[in-house]
Chain A
Amino acid sequence: MKYVIVLVSTLILGLAPANSQDSLWFTRTGRIYFISRTDIIDIDANNYQVGSFLNMKTGEVAFTLLMKSFEFTLPLAEEHFNENYVESEKYPKATFKGKINSFNPSLLVGDADYPVEAQGDLTIHGVTARVQEKGILRKTDEEIRLKAHIEIRLDTYKIKVPNIVADRVALVIPIEVDMLYKPYGKGAGK
């Protein structure tokens, strides 16, 4: 009898096509932080409205955010960022699409950090470039946390810094990513 149940359930599961949504994890309130450090002034901002998907089967990840949703510590910096540097009206969004290298979801157990490296295409200011990011994944009962770190160069994305403020804007910008995913379709999304 046991064997029959196993056989039948295997058949049913086997026949059903893979439901990709089961392996999707989602957030619309992810956080991305960046800071430009110079001797004269630190300019930093948080975006708390980052949308992201994580595919736990394939290791694919995607992010999207509105440049206008960055909240700066210095209010005037926010205006300059949108107006003069990233041209938010022309290029409202930044996106990332990539994949975690040699991803093995079965190692992601027991509320412990799982180091990951991802590669993908980061689009900012209308320019797409290949980037590497390093981070950790951590799974608890109902959530997956992704923390990652990227460094970008402003010139890669054709973001121009005029000479007059060159000593106030860093050329290399570290970016911190912090996502708390929930299973897609259950509480998150919809």
Chain B
Amino acid sequence: MAWSAWLPLAAQDDLLDLLDKEIRPKRVPVDATFKSTRLINCHSVERMQGGDLEFHIAHRFGLINSGFKKFYGLDESSTHVSLEYGITDWLEVGVGRATVDEYFNGFLKLSPIRQSKGFPGMPVTVSVLLGGMTTTKEYPDPSWVVDAVHRRSFVTQLLVARKFAPWLSLQLSPTWIHRNMVSTPLDPNRMFALGMGGRLKFTPRAALTCEYFLLKDRLLLTGAPRFNPLTIGIDIETGSHVFQLFLTNSFNILEPGYIAETTRSWQKKEIHVGFNISRVFTVIREKK
């Protein structure tokens, strides 16, 4: 292209235009689909980045409509505390303890696919949650001779989310639950539920959030009513803390509990106030 050298200077004298031509757009991952590792009850596609440790506290009060005697539910509580650590940017491991049914739990969260702009682009972020838990609660009748294996439950969730705009993110969460022992003969050991939810960010640090699970075979459980859990809340972020405040009909916090064993219903005004607090500590700093 020898002749191009003869073009007048003006054709390329804006160095910024020339930079735009030279620096080709590259693949940019989309960050912060959600502010927290939880949508509310449900895990979100987010996880700790490599070297970060999260101390997560989840708390549900009793029923709001329990009256002054129980101080509108504030007397009662269901909590779950956990430590969750990012081994790499795509692999998180967590351990925790829940008060309801005295569960110890552990999980792995992998994020093999990240939503990205540029080339090659990717429309969604996909994370997989693999969790297991075991109850340490004493059986009501000490004469029961049951293997430890019956104390265990498992959860597998495929979390698929897309940040449509900085203010709008939506997530679908197909969930498979397996309980080695269930509370009534009508409850199935294996259960499928489709979770859905999202957030509307209305300021850079606050968002409206909502999540809902549709339980397959829920209506078969006529003897022991189970309700689809619905939770509505707000996220408030202050630096390295995220506060989530919400209303929910589920009292349990671990997946087999809040998804498969929600016995309270919004229609009967059986609502709990809940909050999650997430505090992130950077344990290992990247060396540059």
Within the complex, what minimum Cβ distance (angstroms) separates B166 from chain A? Answer: 5
B205 interface contact, C-beta 8 A: yes
Whether B31 is near chain A, meaning CB under 8 Å from some CB there, is: yes
Contact of A68 among B19, B20, B28, B238 (CB under 8 A): B28
- In the complex, A53 Cα to B13 Cα: how many Å? 11
Q: Indicate whether A73 sits within 8 Å of B285 (C-beta atoms), given known contacts A17-B6, A53-B18, A62-B16.
A: yes
Chain B residues contacting A75 (CB-CB under 8 Å) are 49-52, 282, 286
Q: Is A28 an interface residue (CB 8 A)?
A: yes
Which residues of the partner chain B approach A68 to less than 8 Å between Cβ atoms?
28-29, 31
Q: What is the size, in residues, of chain A's interface with B at 8 Å between Cβ atoms?
A: 42
Smallest distance from the beta carbon of B199 to chain A beta carbons, Å?
Answer: 12
Evaluate contact between A46 and B28: CB separation under 8 angstroms: no
Complex CA–CA separation, A165 to B239 (angstroms): 7
Contacts of A89 in B (CB 8 A): 30, 166
Which chain B residues lie closer than 8 Å to A168 at the CB level? Answer: 239
Question: Contact string, B232-250, partner A, CB cutoff 8 A, digits 1/0?
Answer: 0000011110000000000
- Nearest Cβ distance between residue A128 and chain B, in whole angstroms? 12
When chains A and B are docked, how far (Å) is the Cα of A162 from the Cα of B50? 27
Cα distance, A61 to B240, chains bound together (Å):
38
A-facing mask of B245-274, CB < 8 A → 1, else 0? 000000000000000000000000000000
In the complex, A74 Cα to B284 Cα: how many Å? 9
Complex: how many Å from CA A26 to CA B19?
9
Q: Is A53 touching B239 in the complex (CB atoms < 8 A)?
A: no
A-facing residues in B149-195 (Cβ within 8 Å): 166
Q: B32–A79 contact, CB under 8 A?
A: yes
Inter-chain contact B240/A64, CB cutoff 8 Å: no
Q: B1-37 CB contact bits vs A (8 Å, 1 = yes)?
A: 0000110110011011011101100101111100000
Contact A74 B238 (CB under 8 A): no
Q: In the complex, which residues 10-54 of chain A have their Cβ closer than 8 Å to any Cβ of chain B? A: 17-21, 24, 26, 28, 46, 51-53
Q: Which residues of B contact A61 (CB under 8 A)?
A: 15
Knowing A17-B6, A76-B240, A84-B205, say if A52 contacts B19 (CB, 8 Å).
yes
State the CA gap A55–B49 with chains docked (Å). 41
Report whether A76 and B32 are in contact in the complex, using a CB–CB cutoff of 8 Å. no
Question: Please, how many angstroms separate the alpha-carbon atoms of A73 and B32 in the complex?
Answer: 18
Chain A residue at minimal CB-CB distance from B8: A17
Binding site for B on A (CB under 8 A): 17-21, 24, 26, 28, 46, 51-53, 55, 60-64, 66, 68, 71, 73-76, 78-80, 82-84, 87, 89-90, 92, 95, 97, 162, 164-165, 168, 189
Residues of B within 8 A of A (CB): 5-6, 8-9, 12-13, 15-16, 18-20, 22-23, 26, 28-32, 49-52, 166, 204-205, 237-240, 280, 282, 285-286, 288
15 A-B contacts (beta carbon < 8 Å): A26-B22, A51-B19, A55-B15, A60-B15, A62-B18, A64-B20, A68-B29, A68-B31, A73-B285, A73-B286, A76-B280, A83-B32, A89-B30, A165-B238, A165-B239
